[in-house]
Amino acid sequence: MKLPHFDYQAPASLDEAVALLVAGDGGARPLAGGQSFVPIMAFRLAEPSMLVDLRKIPGLDQIEIGDEGVRIGAMVRWRDLLDDARLASALPLLPAAIDHVAHYQIRNRGTVGGSLAHADPAAEMPTIALTCDAVIDVIGSKGKRSIPAADLFTGPLMTSLDSDEIITSVLLPAWPASRRWGFQEFSRRRGDFALAGIAVFYDEDASGVVANAHIGAISVGDTPLRLSKAEAALNGRKIDEATLAEVAAVASGEVDPNGDIHASARYRKALVGTLLSRALSAAANRKA
Ligand SMILES: Cc1cc2nc3c(=O)[nH]c(=O)nc-3n(C[C@H](O)[C@H](O)[C@H](O)COP(=O)(O)OP(=O)(O)OC[C@H]3O[C@@H](n4cnc5c(N)ncnc54)[C@H](O)[C@@H]3O)c2cc1C
């Protein structure tokens, strides 16, 4: 289908981009790689008066790794993340999850900021941001602010961003080298959106007792989810068969997914338990 008519601007600075969004009065929208928004326009689910292309704005495509953690610029593409060998030690959960995002063509254009702003509960990056307690930096007509991931995702494809706000980067807090983690998702074909997915990490003491459990779930709610009941059930336990079974059952019971043409609600609930059990096994068996 042909795209609806729209004006197009490619500003050279964030200030200019914000000014264009303000002038658009809710009708102008940022454009990153177009990998979600252009199909949405083609289906006439959005008809913006103007697209404000962020690609010419310098400084949004950097990955910085420092004491506070991994800061990823909004225009960093999936391909950039997968090509950055530093992430395998700094934040291994991230490349493991992003390796499931879409296909080569989409990975070459789709961006981290675009995915966070698009807020698809079936996408990997929003759930990773939520699971890792990430903080999203934005700029708008009222200035800059930092939004905890838990406050960004408000509904299906909905965020707490104002219409003139642009995501500039996301900070994923630093990880201790000893942290244990796992990522599992299931989709009908490699590169398809997940029918369900689980991201998990935890720390453990010298005797293997779990603390600081973080569990995120993909594609089983209106937003990316944290499974707080399963986290509570995991903390204070050692990973063994009984723990895996109990925590998986808690996680399955905690989600209330919708069914669709791809999978029933019941199947998705069962997947959550199975994937969490596998992710925890992988975490426990991975060499620290
Ligand atoms: C066939 C196909 C399969 C896919 N499979 C997957 C998958 O398995 N997993 C997955 O996670 N994704 C998948 N995607 C989506 C893909 O990852 C997109 O890259 C991602 O959704 C973001 O796209 P984009 O960066 O091109 O943003 P765009 O499409 O340009 O923008 C998306 C939205 O974000 C807004 N936006 C963009 N940048 C900013 C910013 N910096 N600040 C504020 N608002 C902004 C736009 O206005 C728009 O509303 C798939 C896409 C396709 C077409």
Over the range 47-79, which residues count as b (16 or more CB within 10 Å of their CB) and which as e?
ebebbbbbeebeebbebebeeebbbbbbbbbbb
**If phi over 0 gives left and psi between -120 and 50 gives alpha, with beta otherwise, what is residue 65?**
beta
Q: Are residues 16 and 77 in the same domain?
A: no
- Note the pLDDT of residue 287: 66
Tell me, yes or no, whether 87 and 42 share the same domain. no
Q: Is residue 49 part of a domain?
A: yes
Q: What is the CATH number of the domain that holds 274?
A: 3.30.390.50
Residues 164 and 257 both lie in one domain: no
- The answer to whether the CB of 179 falls within 8 A of the CB of 84 is no
- Determine whether 288 is exposed, middle or buried from the number of CB atoms within 10 Å of its CB (0-12, 13-18, 19+): exposed
Closest residue by CA, ligand 1 atom 28? 34
Beta strands in the chain, from DSSP E residues, in sequence order? 7-9, 28-31, 50-53, 63-66, 69-73, 135-140, 143-148, 153-155, 158-159, 166-173, 180-186, 196-204, 210-218, 225-226
Average pLDDT across each block of 10 residues of the chain; the chain has 288 residues. List them in order.
90 98 95 96 94 98 98 98 96 97 95 98 98 98 98 97 98 96 94 95 96 98 98 98 98 96 96 98 86
Together in a domain, 234 and 185: yes
Distance, CA of 240 to CA of 51 (rounded, Å): 52
Does 146 lie in the same domain as 74?
yes
Could you tell me the strand order of the sheet in which 63-66 lies? 63-66, 69-73, 166-173, 135-140, 143-148
Do 185 and 93 belong together in one domain? no
pLDDT of the residue at 288:
59
Domain boundary among 173, 189, 209: 173
| Domain end (from 53, 75, 91) | 53
User: Which domain, by its residues, includes 155?
Assistant: 63-173
Of all protein residues, whose CA lies closest to atom 47 belonging to ligand 1? 30
Domain identity same for 161 and 198? no
Residue 77 and residue 36 in one domain: no
CA of 130 to the centre of ligand 1 (A): 17
Name the domain count of the chain.
3
Rounded CA-CA distance 168/175 in Å is 22
18 & 71 share domain: no
Residue 165 in any domain: the answer is yes
Mutate to test the pocket of ligand 1, among 47, 53, 54, 118 (most ligand atoms within 8 A of CB): 118
Residue 219: inside a domain: yes
129 alpha carbon – ligand 1 mean position (Å): 15
How far does the centroid of ligand 1 lie from the alpha carbon of residue 107, in Å? 10
Residue 197 DSSP symbol: E
Whether residues 162 and 79 fall in one domain: yes
Instruction: Give CA–CA dist 178/82, Å, rounded.
Output: 22
Q: Has residue 1 been placed in a domain?
A: no
The CATH number for 43's domain is: 3.30.43.10
CATH number at residue 142: 3.30.465.10
pLDDT of residue 191: 84
- Which protein residues are within 6 Å of ligand 1, measured from CB? 29-37, 39, 54, 74, 101-102, 106, 109-111, 113-115, 117-118, 123-125, 166-167, 193
Are residues 95 and 148 both part of a single domain?
yes
pTM of the model: 0.97
Evaluate whether residue 214 is within a structural domain: yes
Confidence at residue 190, expressed as pLDDT on a 0 to 100 scale: 85
Q: Last residue of a domain, which of 157, 173, 189?
A: 173
Which ligand 1 atom sits closest to the C-alpha of 112?
25
Dist CA 149 CA 127 (whole Å): 9
Is the same domain home to 194 and 281? yes
